[in-house]
Amino acid sequence: MAAVPIESRSALSRLWNNQETRSLILQTVTLVVVLTLVGLVLRNVAINLEAIGKEFSFDFLNQPASYDITFSPFIEYSSRDTHLRAYAVGFQNTLLVAVCGIVAATVLGVTMGILRLSRNWLINRMVYVFLEFTRNVPVLLHILLVHGIIVTTLPPPRGAIDVGGTAFVSNRGFYVPAPVFEDGAGIVGLVLVAAIVAALLFRRWAKRVQVETGRIYPVFWICAAIIAGATALAFLLTGTPLAWEVPELKGFNFQGGMALKPEFLALWLALSYYTSCFIAEIVRAGILAVSHGQTEASFALGLRPNRTLQLVILPQALRIIVPPLVSQYLNLTKNSSLAIAIGYMDVVATIGGISLMQTGKEMETMIIVLGTYLVLSLIISAFMNWYNRSIRYKER
Ordered mean pLDDT values, 10 residues apiece, the chain (396 residues): 53 73 86 92 81 81 89 87 93 94 94 90 92 94 93 87 85 85 86 92 89 83 91 88 83 81 93 95 90 83 81 85 92 92 91 90 89 93 88 63
Rounded CA separation 366/390 (Å): 36
User: What's the pLDDT at 180?
Assistant: 83
pLDDT at 139: 94
What is this structure's pTM? 0.82
Question: What pLDDT score does 190 carry?
Answer: 92
- In this prediction, residue 394 carries a pLDDT of 60
Domain 83-152+262-391 matching CATH 3.30.470.160: the answer reads no
The pLDDT, as a whole number, for residue 147 is: 93
What residue type is assigned to position 160 of the chain?
A
Terminal-to-terminal C-alpha distance of the chain: 52
d(CA 142, CA 267) in angstroms, rounded, equals: 9
| Domains of the chain, residue spans | 83-152+262-391
d(CA 44, CA 58): 19
Q: Residue 129 and residue 338: Cα distance in Å, rounded?
A: 25
pLDDT for 315: 84
Backbone angles phi, psi at 252, to 5 degrees: -100, 5
